A and B are shown apart, each in its own frame.
Chain A
């Protein structure tokens, strides 16, 4: 990895968003992921390499998270820095020079208005190189089905907060599986568990954004 790539990687891992960001204090007034990404593109670095550096950084912070060395706030700070780099890469994605890992359609199920967990998952998944289609809250089954048709090959994520809305989630999963048996469905939210996910016919359950990324990345090898 070139020196610039190392810097991008370190800034993301440490959650150093840009020069003006006060966090982390030991990197105060230094360039951040934003500045280094701009510099790398200007220097003609290939977007693929930049993306690879981002992935390495997210893998590192993800591993630390799995080992309980860092916690959700640091994970989110890294995702925040990563999203800044992604902004610079947007034109390359749009031109088709680089590709996202896939599409993740995400929503909070019918009757449920709790969205903080879903939004955090969305940001971290996006930061890990996926295109996220966020359908919002109180999403009825039909809206999920429509999105699946619009994004062939997508994976779907459903979120719920209460056991009452978990019942709506089960109905949505069932319908998706009836019509699109091959679509991968991942569920999450406070009352969910591996057991509940299995019982409703979902393919996976994740307790946090990092596990969600792990499941999604395993789909693309």
Chain B
């Protein structure tokens, strides 16, 4: 478990977190799995390429993260209202937000340098390195999100509050189009992340999510059995804490 991060309140609303790179560490097991080696290990020589490329990418990361708290104005069967916006999250998510009094809208990114480096490797006809670099960047983005989540859990625990899992637009039946509504709740270019018309965030290695907050809430298994998305990567994956 990471220590509490320092927070900076923004006048326009929201909190920016200090996310020095030493609080995010690269999860080598998650990386090997993400590269496709689920029950197998990488062959001799590949492991070295993986660790050296991952380290290079890690050193290029500029972690940025922040969140904004909202009262939960309404919780309905297929969605929630926060900040005057109704989010049609679908029943899988709204059910898991039951008991929440507030919600944190969070964003995090690792910056644009890792994806630029990976693109350069591909351009230089080094597809293996480019793929490893891109995958390491994705894993690091996930870990940055996890760090923010743990920070919130720790901070709120001190106030006697618990947190739910984090839920991202585009997952668990929540339409990715609703990214537009979500970003309307945040200051312009929050954490230097911008949303394109097609709901695509830039930098690419960025994550947005909502976390429910309330007394007695806790992170639970994702409700995969209720979800129709057979292809989802996170299917059956257990939360990390």
Contacts and interface: CB of A to CB of B under 8 A. Distances in A.
User: Chain B interface mostly helix, strand, loop or mixed?
Assistant: loop
Given A73-B42, A79-B127, A116-B130, A161 B200 contact: yes
Q: Interface range on chain B: under 10, 10 to 19, 20 to 34, or 35 or more? A: 35 or more
A74 B197 contact: no
Interface stretch (A17-25, A31-39, A92-100): A17-25
B1 interface: no
A52 interface: no
B53 to A, nearest CB: 10
Contacts of A116: 118, 122, 130-131, 134
A123 B126 CA distance: 10
A73 B199 contact: no
A22 B45 contact: yes
B231 interface: yes
A117 B231 CA distance: 16
Interface string A57-95: 000000000001011111011011001000000000000
A80 B200 contact: no
B128 A80 contact: yes
Interface string B194-220: 001111101010000000000000000
A111 B196 contact: yes
B158 interface: no
B23 to A, nearest CB: 27
B49 interface: yes
A113 interface: yes
Contacts of A80: 125-128
Interface string B3-14: 000000000000
B234 interface: no
Interface stretch (A43-51, A140-148, A162-170): A162-170
B85 interface: no
B198 A83 contact: no
In this complex, the member of B42, B127, B202 whose beta carbon has the largest number of chain A beta carbons within 10 angstroms is B127
Nearest to B180: A164
Q: Interface range on chain A: under 10, 10 to 19, 20 to 34, or 35 or more? A: 35 or more
Nearest to B37: A71
Contact of B45 (A24, A112, A162): A24
Contact of A165 (B37, B49, B50, B200): B200
B36 interface: yes
Contacts of B49: 23, 73
Interface string A2-27: 00000000000001000000111110
Contact of A120 (B40, B48, B119, B131): B131
Contacts of A23: 45-46, 49
Given A162-B198, A168-B198, A72 B36 contact: yes
Nearest to A127: B127
A119 interface: yes
B45 A73 contact: no
In this complex, the member of B48, B50, B131, B231 whose beta carbon has the largest number of chain A beta carbons within 10 angstroms is B131
B177 interface: yes
Interface of A: 15, 22-26, 68, 70-74, 76-77, 79-80, 83, 111-116, 119-120, 123, 161-165, 168, 190-191, 193
Top 9 A-B residue pairs of the complex, sorted by shortest distance between their CB atoms: A111-B198, A71-B36, A76-B127, A25-B45, A23-B45, A116-B134, A76-B128, A164-B199, A24-B45
17 contacts: A22-B45, A23-B45, A23-B49, A71-B36, A71-B40, A72-B131, A73-B36, A73-B128, A77-B128, A113-B196, A116-B118, A120-B122, A120-B130, A123-B122, A123-B125, A162-B199, A164-B198
